[in-house]
Amino acid sequence: MPMSDLGPAPAIDKRAVSGKLLTVKHIETAVQEKEVRFLDLKYSDMPGRLRHVTMPIDRLDHVVKEGVGFDGSSVAGFRTVEAGDMVLKPDIQSAFVDPFAAQPTVSAFAGIFDPATGERYERDPRYIVEKAIAAVKKATGADEVMVLSEFEFYLFNSAEFHTDESSAVYRIETDELRHDDQTGLGLFKGAAYHVAPPFDRSSDFRSELASLMAGCGIPVKYHHHEGGRYSQVEVEPLFMPAMRAADGIMLTKYLVRNLAFRHNKSATFMPKPIHGEAGSGMHIHQYISRDGLSLFGDEKAESRLSELGRYYIGGILNHVPSLCAFTNASTNSYRRLVPGYEAPVLVFFSFANRTAAIRIPGYITSAARMAIEYRIPDATANPYLSLAAILMAGLDGIRSKADPGFPLKGRLDAAGQQNFGAKPVPLSLAQALDELKRDQEYLTEAGVFSSETIEKWAELKMVEVEAVARRPHPWEFNLYYGC
């Protein structure tokens, strides 16, 4: 159902600093006119997978007031079967028309509640980031936390993978990996960034995606072919308030996957799906604002970075090793964080340097627009937990007045020679989880993360670590079969 069928939509601020896609009035009007038939509630499990439940729209009033029950013991990271009952209640401010539903459907993200107490569930990822945003606003006097997340992914024609006790294999196919292709794409190894058609085979797909995103309240800045051959692409939205941005990550991944399915293709946000090609990150641009002006900027400072901005950077840099347990939440994440690519391998900040953990974009010329880009994260993270952890690290830096040192100038190999405390990014998810055990007090400030939530997260992730570690890798046969 097109957006126009719901009547005039609220104007969407081009900078995405305010506005709602659908209002309660719009939904009620659509229901009365029988233009909407279903209500779909979406929510995140702990690992970050999108889940949903759908009901007839005539239950809207009841669901808004009372919620809808579900079995939390069947959702990864939530409750046990002995006490599994939980309740979903829609956040109507997040409502949008689902472009992939065959029947006219309004969808909204939902909060998770404990029916015994009527309170929000402490492991609800969306609730955790809500608390982190509130903590930053309270501590800084800000009225908004602004976030822009880059979406990098590979678009394949097909992806096949299989493992059992005696075999392990994967195979991908894409328009840009055809050996009989005569267009000369092979000439572009290392130079696929911004490549034009006919080498770029997914431009129309991305334009269609951008239209879908805009229709769901996620305004797009631009899209392009990324640096990886074989159909690595990027779509970048505009800045949005942090909660909308976190919802926008969940929703954009939903749109990408469904649009790929519609086109008989397969999309992956896996950080390193192809050996020797660029990995896919999810760079998080961010700033704290008051009255529309960034609190990270100071026109009088030589760097145009305010003291608060420097402390915020210092807090993130101090906690990078433990942050990685949330921001780089897969074993595959650490195949991307290796030397030789643009992915960070050392913890430092810099201006315009794309190998830095935190980059101050060189194109920012006004202190009022000052933002930082945290380049380590990837899309295997739960976006709510990842963003909450980043905000709490930055807030810890503000409270402790953490000095980030001097920004790196020059080549990356000079990093170890400069006195700014550069340290390596964790080499594995197991190492990041060990760091999280050692360094987590900043996450539990203001009750944002509970110790139980952190413990459950580490437990879930160690299952993945052990699952990969205990299986022989295909390349080990090359190395050791004849030993």
DSSP string for 208-277: HHHHHHHHTT--EEEEEE-SSTTTEEEEEE--EEHHHHHHHHHHHHHHHHHHHHHTT-EEE--S--STTS
Rounded Cα gap, residues 376 and 326, in angstroms: 11
Q: What is the 3-state secondary structure (H, E, C) of 409-461?
A: CCCHHHHHHCCCCCCECCCCHHHHHHHHHHCCHHHHHHHCCCHHHHHHHHHHH
Strands 68-71 and 85-90, bridge-based pairing: antiparallel
**Does residue 290 carry a catalytic annotation?**
no
Q: Using CA atoms in the order 286, 292, 296, 302, what is the torsion angle rounded to 10 degrees?
A: 130
- What whole-number distance in Å separates Cα of residue 269 and Cα of residue 208? 18
Catalytic residue among 58, 71, 143, 476: 71
Q: Kindly name the residue from 150, 247, 277, 396 that is annotated as catalytic.
A: 150
CA atoms of 453 and 126, how far apart (whole Å): 13
Assess contact for 151 and 256: CB atoms under 8 A.
yes
Measuring CA to CA, which residue among 163, 398, 176 is closest to residue 296? 398
Helix (H) or strand (E) holding 232: strand 232-237
- Does residue 234 have an active-site annotation? yes
For residue 363, which of 263, 221, 156, 203 has the smallest C-alpha distance?
Answer: 221
Distance of CA 139 to the CA centre of its chain: 24
Q: How many C-beta atoms lie closer than 10 Å to residue 391's C-beta? A: 26
Q: Active site residue: 226, 277, 298, 435, which one?
A: 226
Catalytic residue among 152, 175, 200, 277: 152
Name every residue whose Cβ is closer than 8 Å to that of residue 464 and which is 6 or more positions away in sequence.
330, 331, 429
Report whether 157 contacts 174 (CB < 8 A). Answer: yes
- Report the candidate in 261, 260, 252 with the shortest Cα–Cα distance to residue 231: 260
Q: How far is Cα 324 from Cα 306, in angstroms, rounded to an integer?
A: 26
Query: Collapsing DSSP states into helix, strand and coil, what is residue 297?
Result: strand
Is 150 a residue of the active site? yes
| Annotated catalytic residue within 37, 52, 79, 354 | 354
Closest CA to 461 of 44, 43, 46: 46
Rg, C-alpha atoms of the chain: 23
CA distances for 281 relative to 13, 63, 388, angstroms: 27, 37, 18
- Of 236, 432, 212, 395, the closest CA to residue 313 belongs to 395
Active site residue 152: yes
Is the Cβ–Cβ distance between 228 and 362 less than 8 Å?
A: no
| Known active-site residue 35 | no
Tell me the residue type at 171: R
Smallest Cα–Cα separation from 367: which of 290, 313, 303, 312? 303
**Catalytic member of 176, 373, 396, 435:** 373
Catalytic choice (283, 285, 310, 336)? 283
Q: Can 164 be counted among the known catalytic residues?
A: no
End-to-end CA distance of the chain: 62
Task: Point out the catalytic residue in the list 45, 175, 234, 435.
Answer: 234
Which residues are marked as active site?
Answer: 71, 150, 152, 226, 234, 283, 354, 373, 375
